[in-house]
Structure 1
Amino acid sequence: MSLLIPLGLLGLLGVVGLIIIYIIKPNFQQKIISSTYVWKLSLKYRKRRLSTNKLRNIILIICQILILVSCAVILSQPVFVIKSQEDKPENVIVIDASASMLTEVDTTRFERAVEKARTLAISTFDSDGKVSLILADSKPSFLARRAGSESRNSVLETLDSLVEVSPETGLNACTYGKGDLDESMRLSQEIIEENPSAKVTVFTDKKFNSVPDGVNVETIRDDTEWNAGILNAEVSLSDGFYVLKVDVASYGHDEKLNIEVEVNGANNDSVDTEGMNLVLTADGVVCSEEKTRTVIFKYMLDLTDHDDDVTTYRELSASERFFSFKSILVSIETDDNYTIDNSFWIYGGTKERIKIQYASTIPNPFFQGILNVMRNSYADRYQLDITFVRPDEEAATEGFDFYIFEHKNPEKLPTDGVVFISDPDTSSSNGDFTLSSNLITDAGMTLSDATGGTDSILNNITPGDITLSAITGVTLRDDAYTVLLETNGKKHPALIYKNGVTMDNHKPVKVVLMMFSIHNSNLAVKKDFPLLMTHIFDYYFPTTVSGNAFEVSEEIKLNSRGSELTVTGGSYGSTGIVIQEFPATISPTIPGAYTISQKTFRDPSESITEEIYVRTPAAESNVFATDDALVNPYINKDKVEFYKDLLFYIALVLVALLFIEWWLQSRDNM
């Protein structure tokens, strides 16, 4: 047991005072008077009580002394020590592994930080102390936890390994992303909870406006360092031609930058043509006071397009304008100390071509209209080439990605794409379905969701609002078919689909059957029709990846139209990784270009590819950044966590003693 306030024991002087009171208390004096004979007669009745009174008085004095002692102990705040602060030194070492730590003057900031951390670890071990080591990357973790001097060699080897370059990747332990210092400080709090006297030292290139007590921040910087970088680059269409915006900045000193833009495959009509290569430049772009400057490359400037403090315009000539591209490389030539952000790639300027065929014996303006609308709405993702087959022409059964047959379907269905059949007229030999011979008619038929609301194709669609007057019965011979909509009451299948991932040369594996004609339904005039068509298209032609530029360690969601896709480049090398379960997520850790390849059913011998660019976080380009505050690992440092308070128990004893003292006093008055 320990006392938090030992001076509280001065309250024991009250015991001395009590004893003095009893000493100086006046005693009764014996005097002989005439009535003493009456007292003598009563003595024989009191003799048996004398011994009891003496015992009561003794107990009363003891209770009063214990009451004073209890009060003195309460004043001194007695506790049991749960965790004691160790006498030997203990250091928690946090090393920032952010991309900005790759800033280099002879050696990188990261290498200098590791060397300083090594020196601190050695001095701690020399004092027989303990060392904990945390690497502050995107997912901080302990490299060593409360390691004593017996683990000296292991800890030093771990530190040395951080700066060793891997022969496979050519990189050391410093990342190209943002280090999570906040999470690192929370990890250090685990050590502080075990040893409140542990000290935290953070080796980083950041400065902080507020640093918690007990935390030492070692800022790894050199006054001669500086950086000019491309923070972001993006394109947008304006009047049929691309506008390029480039954000640049200089940190450490002011600089005039020369920006070069290489447009590869410019003005190509499709992915099958090469196009032309353009080189655009913007020279002498002034970057000062660490402010971001936006350089805009645009054909035909508007009246509002003029230079200001943060924007510079570079007007493109007619020979420099471009309406499509395969890739754009933006770069700057500088002799700065952080070169990772001196280039930036842009992809997505050429859209994948999706070939669609619509064939009907009675061409329907509703189908034709929604296809034209889809061509415009999907323009940022795909180039939809739509072929409308005349009623007197034979529909193709190969060479398209999406087939729509209305009222008449071929005897043998295509196998190289998605097949949508509305109001089928025959049981195709390879369709795995058989039509009934009679048309089912009922003017009052309505539809219901056969999936119970679990299928995304029916999102925001209200089946109960769709009415039918006729429907064709069907028997399905493939368990892969799923019924989406059915009629109320007799449960006739109305909308059916299947989605195989492995191509079969003998039968289609991606099929949608709509067992009624929209001429016999109100579907065409409902909002549900365009929703249904776009949901079906999105289901069979999912976006492989949303976006073309991402940050290092950012989660990137991937989808595939086939059974697998391959990702190559950067973190995955030239061999790449093969993904077979979708949707999938990747988190590249190395900046650069990545290629996503997959095969389509239309031409399995060829792969379609999409490219994305992974860049370092723009915030890491500011190599002289100052953040607001560092998380306080001592924020929960409370005496309650280190001691067990005994005041409650002593208070119980005090109350008991007071009760006993009161009872004894009351007996004296009886």
Structure 2
Amino acid sequence: MRFLTPLGLLGLLGILVLIIIYILRPNYQQKFVSSTYIWKLSLKYRKKRIPTSKLRDLLLILCQVLILAGSAAALATPVQVLREQPTDNEVIAIIDASASMRAQYNGEMRFERACNRVLSLADTVFGNDGTMSVIVANDDPVYLIREADRSASAQLNDDINDLLISDMCTYGSANVEEAFSLCEDVVAANPATKIYFYTDTTYTYVPNNVEVVNVSDSNEINASILDASATFESGYYRVTAHIALFGANGTVRLKMNVNGANAVDINDPGDSREFSIDVECYDDQVQTVVFCVERNDEDLSEEEKENTTYYIFNDAERFYSYQSILLSFDYLGDFEDCFMDDDTFSIYGGQKEVINIKYSSSLKNPFVTSALLSLQNYYSNNWEIHISDSLDTPNEGFDIYIFEHEMPQTLPRDGVVFLFDPLSSPSGSGLTLRNIVDLGGTEGAMPLEEVTNDDSPRSPVLNNINLTDILVTRYRRLDDDGTYETLASCDGDPVLLVRNDDEAKIAVMAFSLHYTNLPLKAAFPRLMSNLFSYFMPSTIDSNYYEVGSTIEFNSRGSSLKVTSESGSGVNEDIMSFPSSLSIDLPGTYRIEQMGVFDKDAPDIQFYVKIPAAESNTRAVLDALPDPFVSENQYDYFNDLLIYLAAAIVAFLFLEWILQLRDNM
């Protein structure tokens, strides 16, 4: 047992006061009494067989002493020691391994400086018989060593050297929160643990027992291309780039190389164009550089206008297509760039893949034509969609075939096929047509019902479509060969089906647009768009990503291959879709894929860049995570106050009994 507040034992002086009271208290009283009272009192004492007055007085005094002693002990906070609070010299070193730590000055990276300082700290800690843990804070922080003593000194030196040799500093962002959460078990066992965070970032708030060691150099300067994009406006491309000069004020020259300018298709080499413009950079402000046909800054604020520089193309410089655009710095003045990995930026996607659609109908439907034109416009940034509605064109060489009413004798095998209101069953479709069901006009119209499968999610074909709003007055019963998925039914009969496998890609709508309210609702163009996305998915949703981000891949074919053009990055075969991949190295990557129905698909290039936040080599952030929870003394002691209080109450009750007996 231990007393947490020993001064409370001064309450024992109450026992001394009690003794003094008993000494000074007179043992008799002077008063007049009658002879009868004296006679009764003497008779009372004579009747008692055993004299107990002295024993009772002793017990009464003992209870009072114990009550005072217990009260004094309660003031001193008695506890049972469960475990001793650690007093060891314990240290945790966290090394920031984010991309900005790759910045260097005089040939030494910030990451190297951090590692060397950790080794110096280890010498000090181990020299004082302390223990040390080291955490490498990359995108997935891990312990390099944990709670090691001086016997692990040589191993720590080897591990740190391996970090430097194997270039373990990432090109992405560090998960600082996860790194500090790894410390929680150690600091919970020893709240006196000191944490050193070796980084290049300044924090406005740092928790207690955490020391931020900034390893950046005041002479470091970084010119960076933070991001860039190309948008198609008024028939020509407009290129927008965001750049900054961190650590200095001055003029930089941004160069733009356009390859394959105005190429007709992927086989056309096009022209090569080169542009450059000087940009004034100051106060670490992000500057916007725009290469365009005409200046358009009406929607910009005054501050945005001040930080925007324009290069206006002349008639000979404009381009409506490109194969690649490379942005780089051509001139940095007298500055030495400390971080070269963000000095270039590549833009791809300027040569669109052509999608050929054939619409065949014995009675052209303006709603179908309108929906196709909407598709053409909506996907204009990703695809170049050509639409043909000639009945004389052979059913071959198209990517999508739409047949309405009149069906071909044989189903095309080289593209996606939509069958709207089929009047016959094409060979190879796997469909058997039955009778027509007439529901009796608008009064008997029935809504479509979604056919759900508990084992699979809702089909993307029905995204943002409420089937109960779609009414049908007439449809055709049909059977399929089991290769179709039924999405919707009417009165229990399947009316909307899809098939999507390696053998065929077919969508079937078993009713005419003349016998439904579907064309009058927004659901129809939405359905057409969903069908297009379902059968013709984009391989990727962007042409550039940041290191460490998750990239979603899709394919119309059975497989694709992702390779790094530098040869040092990812080399991955993907066989199932949709699939995802995270890339750890910046640079240009190429996607090679075989198109559906053995058609050649053009290669796709995309760019992976350093996260823009890592380019700011003088970043200031708000606060570091606090791994220290409030220290609770009950983690080390068991409070005995409740037991002591119970004993005091027991003695008080015993004293009351003795006092009661004395007065009887």
TM-score, scaled to structure 1: 0.90
Number of residue pairs the alignment of both structures matches: 647
| Corresponding residue SS for 1:8 | helix
**8 Å contact kept, 2:257–2:273:** yes
> 5+ unaligned residues in a row in structure 1: which ranges?
166-171
1:324 and 1:350 in contact (8 A); partners too: yes
Question: Is this contact kept in 2: 1:566–1:597, CA < 8 A?
Answer: yes
Change (3 A) 1:559 1:650: farther
Does the alignment pair 1:610 with 2:614?
Answer: no
Contact 2:132/2:149, CA 8 A, preserved across alignment: yes
Q: What is the alpha-carbon distance in structure 1 between the residues aligned to residue 567 and residue 3 of structure 2? A: 61
1:458 aligns with 2:425: no
Cα pair 1:111 1:163 within 8 Å, conserved: yes
Residue 252 of structure 1 aligns with an amino acid whose one-letter code is G
* Deviation, structure 1 residue 259: 0.5
3-state DSSP class of the match of 1:340?
A: helix
User: Equivalences for 1:360-509 in 2 at 5 Å?
Assistant: 360-390=361-391, 393=392, 395-396=394-395, 398-436=396-434, 438-443=435-440, 444-446=444-446, 447-451=448-452, 454-477=458-481, 479-488=482-491, 491-500=492-501, 502=502, 504=503, 509=504
The amino acid of 1:459's aligned partner reads: N
- After TM superposition, the structure 1 = structure 2 runs for residues 253-402 of structure 1, keeping only pairs within 5 Å, are 253-283=248-278, 285-302=279-296, 308-333=305-330, 334=332, 335-390=336-391, 393=392, 395-396=394-395, 398-402=396-400
Which of 512, 533, 537 is residue 532 of structure 2 equivalent to?
Answer: 537
Bigger shift: residues 311-320 or 564-573: 564-573
Residue in 2 that maps onto 1:128 = 129
Q: Residue deviations 1:438-460, cap 9 Å, x none?
A: 43333225222122683232233
After superposition, the Cα gap between the structure-2 partners of 1:315 and 1:111, relative to the gap in structure 1 and judged at 3 Å, is same
What SS is found at the alignment partner of 2:120?
Answer: helix
Residue 261 of structure 1: CA displacement? 0.5
> What CA distance in whole angstroms lies between the structure 2 residues aligned with 1:431 and 1:588?
41
Q: 1:590 aligns to what SS in structure 2?
A: coil
3-state SS of the aligned residue for 1:607?
Answer: coil
Conserved in 2, the CA contact under 8 Å of 1:131 and 1:148?
yes
The answer to whether the Cα contact below 8 Å between 2:287 and 2:308 also exists between their aligned partners in 1 is: yes
Q: Is the 8 A contact 2:566 2:588 kept in 1?
A: no
**Per-residue deviation at 1:302?**
4.7
Residue 328 of structure 2 contacts residue 345 of structure 2 at CA under 8 Å; is this kept in 1?
Answer: yes
The whole-number CA distance in structure 2 between the counterparts of 1:31 and 1:371 is 123
Say whether the 8 Å CA contact 1:88–1:127 is kept in structure 2.
no
> Counterparts of 1:512-591 in structure 2 under 5 Å?
512-569=507-564, 573=568, 576-591=571-586
Pairwise CA distance, 1:363? 1.8
CA pair 499-664 structure 1, distance change in 2 beyond 3 A: farther
Change (3 A) 1:225 1:473: same
CA deviation digits over 1:7-53, x for unaligned, max 9? 222222222222332233322389999956654433222343x32x4
Report the Cα offset of residue 575 of structure 1.
6.8
| Percent of aligned pairs with the same amino acid | 38
- Tell me the secondary structure at the aligned position of residue 649 of structure 1: helix
* Equivalent runs, 1:25-64 vs 2, <5 Å: 25-28=25-28, 35=35, 39-48=41-50, 50-51=51-52, 53-64=53-64
Correspondence for 2:615 among 607, 614, 621: 621
SS of the residue 1:634 aligns to: coil
Change in Cα spacing, 1:657 to 1:162, as seen in structure 2 (3 Å) is farther
**Per-residue Cα deviation, 1:127-152 (whole angstroms, up to 9, x for no partner):** 33211111111222222222233433
Partner residue of 1:168? Answer: none
Give unmatched runs, 5+ long, in structure 2.
Answer: none
Residues 543 and 18 of structure 1: is their aligned pair in 2 closer, same or farther, counting only changes over 3 Å? farther
Query: Do 1:101 and 1:109's aligned partners in 2 also have CA atoms closer than 8 Å?
Result: yes
Give a deviation string over 1:529-551, Cα, whole Å, max 9, x none: 21211111111122222222222
Confirm or deny: 8 A CA contact 1:401 1:602 kept in the other structure: no
For residues 596 and 636 of structure 1, do their structure 2 counterparts lie closer, same or farther at Cα, with a shift above 3 Å needed? Answer: farther
Q: CA RMSD in A?
A: 2.6
Aligned amino acid, residue 527 of structure 1? A
Once the two structures are TM-superposed, the CA of residue 639 in structure 1 deviates from its matched residue by 3.0
Shift of 1:124: 2.0
Mapped contact 2:328–2:344 kept (Cα < 8 A): yes
- Would the aligned equivalents of 1:229 and 1:249 in 2 still touch at CA under 8 Å? yes
Counterpart AA for 1:666: L
One-letter code aligned to 2:88: K
Distance 2:124 2:72 in 1: 45
1:169 corresponding residue in structure 2: none
Over residues 449-488 of structure 1, what are the superposed CA-to-partner deviations in whole Å (9 max), with x where a residue is unaligned? 12268323223323333333432222211x2211112111
Deviates more, 1:193-202 or 1:246-255: 246-255
Q: What is the letter of the counterpart of residue 215 of structure 1?
A: V
- Kindly provide the amino acid, as one letter, of the partner of residue 421 in structure 1: L
Deviates more, 1:377-386 or 1:37-46: 37-46
CA contact (8 A) 2:421 2:510 kept: yes
- The whole-number CA distance in structure 2 between the counterparts of 1:567 and 1:359 is 38
Q: How far off is 1:108 after superposition?
A: 0.6
2:627 aligned with 1:633: yes
SS of match in other structure, 1:368: helix
Asked if structure 1 preserves the Cα contact closer than 8 Å seen for 2:232 and 2:381, the reply is: no
| Aligned residues of 1:280 and 1:320 also touching (Cα < 8 A) | no
1:659 pairs, out of 650, 653, 657, with 653
CA gap of 1:538–1:3, structure 2 versus 1, over 3 A, is same
From the superposition, tell whether residues 579 and 536 of structure 1 become closer, same or farther in structure 2 (CA, over 3 Å).
Answer: same
By how many angstroms is 1:308 displaced? Answer: 4.9
d(CA) in 1 for partners of 2:144 and 2:42? 92
CA apart distance, 1:102:
0.7
SS in 2 for 1:21: helix
Q: Contact 1:570–1:588 (CA<8 Å) still a contact in 2?
A: no
- The 8 Å contact of residues 85 and 197 in structure 1, kept in 2 or not, is answered as no
- Provide the rounded CA distance (Å) in 1 between the counterparts of 2:315 and 2:344: 26
Q: Tell me if structure 2 keeps the 8 A contact 1:84–1:195.
A: no
Amino acid at match of 1:232: D
| CA apart distance, 1:82 | 4.2
**CA, structure 1 residues 551+642, in 2 after alignment: closer, same or farther (shift >3 Å)?**
farther
Contact 1:389–1:395 (CA under 8 A) maintained in structure 2: no
Looking at structure 2, the residues matched to 60 and 221 of structure 1 have their Cα atoms a distance apart, in angstroms, of 77
1: CA distance between counterparts of 2:177 and 2:238?
39
CA distance in structure 1 between the partners assigned to 2:378 and 2:346 by the alignment: 26
CA distance in 1, matches of 2:612, 2:67: 69
- Pairing of 1:165-176 with structure 2 (within 5 A): 165=166, 172-176=167-171
TM-score by length of 2: 0.91
Query: Which SS does the other structure have where 1:23 is aligned?
Result: helix
Q: Offset at 1:615?
A: 1.2
Q: CA deviation at 1:379?
A: 0.8
Deviation at 1:63, TM superposition (A): 2.7
Partner SS, residue 596 of structure 2: coil
Q: Which amino acid aligns with 2:603?
A: T
Change (3 A) 1:275 1:570: closer
Distance 1:564 1:312 in 2: 44
Tell me how far apart the structure 2 counterparts of residues 314 and 183 of structure 1 sit (CA, whole Å): 44
**Structure 1 pair 308/75, CA: closer, same or farther in 2 (3 Å)?**
same
- Counterpart for residue 117 of structure 1: 118
Q: Which moved more, 1:111-120 or 1:150-159?
A: 150-159
Distance 2:11 2:48 in 1: 39
Aligned-partner residue type, residue 2 of structure 2: S
Give the drift of 1:229. Answer: 1.1
